[in-house]
Amino acid sequence: MTATVDHYTETQRGALLETLRAFLRIPSISTLPEHRPDVDRAAEFVASELRQAGLARVHLIEGEGNPLVYGERIEAPGKPTVLCYGHYDVQPPDPLDEWKSPPFEPAIRGEDIFARGAADDKGQTLILIKAVEALVQLRGRLPVNVKFLIEGEEEVGGGHIEKHIREKGRSLGADAALICDTEMFAPGLPSLCIGLRGIVYTEVEVTGARQDLHSGVYGGVAPNPLLDLARILNGLKDAGGRILIPGFYDRVRPPDTAELDAWARLPFDEERYKRDEVGVEELTGEAGFSVFDRTWARPTLEVHGIRGGFTGDGAKTVIPARATAKVSMRLVADMDPAEAFEQFRRHVERITPRGVRSRVTLLAASGPSKVDPANGFVRAAAAALTEVFGVPTVYIRSGGSIPIVGLFAEHARIPSVLMGFGLPDDNLHAPNEKLHLPNFFRGIVAVARYLELLGE
């Protein structure tokens, strides 16, 4: 059967690629309101693909925010129901001038397809749909029951699906979730992600004088919100990478010995990672912690952008009246987003220099999560991946945040299987995002095999 799905992806290669390209051409950037029509087009595209895959009851769930796309195929009584999750929205493509080909004109170079959303998450969402389509086409029926719930706000906090899952709770009617939105540890190495960091994303605003001022006339007496914002940012994390917010590390749970042992066995060349993947002369972060610790098991704090004053070409001698910074923190088990935000807010208040006022706004939050590798769904997924890729599956974590995992656990009471087909150099959220095409095709085979194993 595996061979058959394998063969199916071979023969359908051209059509599969054409569908992927069409999906990637839609600039469904959820954070930019002017792209709302594209977001809607992407939702319709997913619905149409679900119908073609043989799913029933395909419809858009409208509500506040972007539509959810639902579909199901319930025809295996007594068998588990798998809830397939993905997202059709993407990150903004800027800075545009660093893309080698336009972000919404998919270009194949070598074995990779380059476009915003290629790996995160349109390509991987399509893996789920096409695996089901392959089984339906080849067998006429599915070995398990499936439901699809594809959202369009993953990159902006996922408000709509959160509300939906909170309301539905256990009546979502599934036994496990299947999510393809993570990455393999290395090319050819099948990986299951069993831990995710949470996030608290904030905006810090600093205000000084009533209006912008001339730096010649008022330099020396007027507060400078940009400088004071820099002072605040400087007070958030020390030069060694340690976050200075009181109490911030109190709930951090270190990885257990078994996990640390497994990490030690992962094929990892720190020198190559530093040079080729991150692209730096020197890795930074907390002394005494490994790269896996620092990216998977330690909380972090980053600044994503600073706005205020004059940033055009040339010189403008302005002292701006206000400045803002986007600041996020990644959380690890057992940190609580609400508590972390409150600690952050109080700390910013405490270190705000005299002469300016500061205000902290919460833009998005989700908790960290950890799934149990002994769970039957996780074990079946590992078996399917091992079979299709021909090498043992490894258990890893991801430093990123997939809030849906926590929502599924808390409200629907189901575990999530994170079967990722991205690669570490896929440039997520950056220029030249790509998907490795062999992973796209093998992903379809592996997901199909997983559903088969679950049905046995």
Output the CA–CA distances (angstroms, integers) from residue 378 to 11, 191, 430, in the order listed. Answer: 30, 11, 30
Beta strand 191-196 with 369-370: parallel, antiparallel or unpaired?
Answer: antiparallel
Q: Which amino acid is at 390?
A: G
In angstroms, the first-to-last Cα distance of the chain is: 13
Is residue 22 within 8 Å of residue 118, measured between CB atoms?
no
CB atoms within 10 A of CB 361: 12
* 257 exposure class (CB count in 10 Å sphere: 0-12, 13-18, 19+): exposed
Among the listed residues 62, 161, 200, 196, the one whose alpha carbon sits nearest the alpha carbon of residue 408: 161
Would you say 164 or 322 has its CB closer to a second copy? 322
Q: Which C-beta is closer to a second copy: that of 237 or that of 347?
A: 237
For residues 10 and 94, which CB has a smaller minimum distance to a second copy in the complex? 94
Do the bridges between strand 416-418 and strand 176-179 make them parallel or antiparallel, or are there none, so unpaired? parallel
Least distance from C-beta 127 to a second copy, angstroms? Answer: 20
CB of 6 to a second copy, least distance (A): 30
Smallest gap from Cβ 221 to a second copy, in A, equals: 5
Q: How far apart are CA 95 and CA 149, in angstroms?
A: 31
185 near 266, Cβ under 8 Å? Answer: yes
Alpha-carbon separation of residue 436 from 46, 178, 240 (angstroms):
21, 20, 35
Q: How far is the CB of 299 from a second copy (least distance, A)?
A: 9
- To a second copy, the closest distance from the beta carbon of 178 in angstroms equals 20
- Least distance between a second copy and beta carbon 101 (Å): 15
Q: How far is the CB of 308 from a second copy (least distance, A)?
A: 7
Nearer to a second copy, 26 or 236 (CB): 236
User: Could you tell me the smallest distance in angstroms from the CB atom of residue 366 to a second copy?
Assistant: 11
Contact 180, 55 (CB under 8 A): no
Q: Which residues contact residue 394 at a Cβ distance below 8 angstroms, ignoring those fewer than 6 apart?
A: 185, 189, 190, 191, 192, 262, 266
- Comparing CB distances to a second copy, the nearer of 146 and 199 is 199
43 or 428: whose CB is closer to a second copy? Answer: 428
CB of 12 to a second copy, least distance (A): 31
- Give the residue with the Cβ less far from a second copy, 25 or 357: 357
The alpha carbon of residue 279 and the mean position of all alpha carbons in its chain are separated, in whole angstroms, by 21
**What value, to the nearest 5°, has the Cα angle with vertex 349 and ends 343 and 354?**
160
What CA–CA distances, in Å, run from 452 to 26, 172, 305, 381, 440? 32, 22, 46, 10, 19
Question: What is the closest distance, in whole angstroms, from the C-beta atom of residue 442 to a second copy in the complex?
Answer: 22
Integer angstrom CA distances of residue 244 from 301, 324, 349 = 10, 20, 13
* C-beta of 74 vs 362, nearer to a second copy: 362
Give whichever of 175 and 259 is closer to a second copy, judged by the CB atom: 259
By C-beta, is 115 or 134 nearer to a second copy? 115
